[in-house]
Structure 1
Amino acid sequence: MFVITMLTVVFRVILKIPASWSEELAQYSFIFLAFIGSAAIMQDESHIKITVLIDRMSERVQKILRIVGRLLMLWFLAIFTLGAWDNVRLNWTIELPTVAWMKIGYMYLVLLLSGIIMIFYLLLNLYYDLTGRIPAGSGTGGAA
């Protein structure tokens, strides 16, 4: 993404050539980075969260709220992933206007893969909560 953005600047400022293809590729690479990164941090639940109220509750209530929250996220991610699959099939051959080799279906493929990874880690953390097992390598005493 950085290289593509730098190329955009070089083409526009130095060479005085409009490069709309580089802007589109930079946008898509940002989307790829955001969704793949989001899937990667699902494993240890590193997403931003506000825990002011939850920290004041008992461990049992915290566990119940985590389970309910995970079930709600699972519902959302299932819809997200199925929608991404539908869009992969529908847009696999549709080209970007300025980049013929880049298909819109590729973006939806990244969304599909990130959705699958997020569902996997969500189910894994739900399993840890339901069984009371501690994830390997976790020093926290349980999946938080």
Structure 2
Amino acid sequence: MFRKFDAGVLLLTKAAVVALLFVMFGATLAGVFFRYVLDDALTWSEEVARYSMVWLSFLGGGLVFREGGHVAVDLLLAHLPSRRLRLAVTLLAQVLVMAVLAVVLWQGVILMARGQYMTTAALRLPMYVPYAALPVGAGLMIYHLLVTGRGLIASDTDDANAPG
């Protein structure tokens, strides 16, 4: 049951990332075309591209979390003498990452509540729509960290190469 749910989360997130990439590309291309070819700027293209990029970054961040693809500085980890110590440092780092993501999620919800009466300049969307990227993205990153058991720290394959 959980595998189907997890596969659904992955499929939905990947589809949203691809769609957002196309929306961002299309809005940017349309903005450039209208401004420089037709000499008549679009009022909405920059805003669509900006908010698509924000959502793309937060949703894509969760997918990168899933694959362990975020930048990691593992110099300390590689020089620790025992596997048990490396595991303890990795666990501590993951707890710290989880705490930061929990704060981002919490503050994102607060920001959404504050933005519910504001609208975007060009599209007149409620500001909670772009602000929702923070709690949704942080929630997905927490989900992927819990499911895979890894985060910004080197993966198990790196442990095999480490001394000790």
TM-score band, normalised by the shorter chain?
A: 0.7 to 0.9
Q: Secondary structure at the match of 2:75?
A: coil
Q: Is residue 87 of structure 2 the alignment partner of residue 74 of structure 1?
A: no
Give TM-score scaled by structure 2 length: 0.71
Higher share in helix: 2
Corresponding residue for 1:86? 110
CA RMSD of aligned residues (A): 2.3
Q: Tell me which of the two structures has the higher relative contact order, counting C-alpha pairs closer than 8 angstroms and 6 or more residues apart.
A: 2
Q: Secondary structure at the match of 1:19?
A: coil
Q: Which runs of 4+ in 1 moved over 6 A?
A: none
Q: Secondary structure at the match of 1:42?
A: helix
Corresponding residue for 1:51? 74
Counterpart amino acid of residue 11 in structure 1: F
Identity percentage of aligned residues: 24
Identify if the C-alpha distance between structure 1 residues 141 and 47 changes in structure 2 by more than 3 Å, giving closer, same or farther: closer
- Alpha-carbon deviations, 1:69-121, whole Å to 9, x = none? 01111111111001111122221342111112x32211121221111111122
Q: Aligned pair count?
A: 131
Superposed displacement of residue 141, structure 1? 9.5
**How far apart are the structure 1 equivalents of 2:156 and 2:100?**
29
Q: Secondary structure at the match of 2:66?
A: coil
Superposed displacement of residue 27, structure 1? 1.1
Q: Which runs of no fewer than 5 residues in structure 1 stay unpaired?
A: 129-137
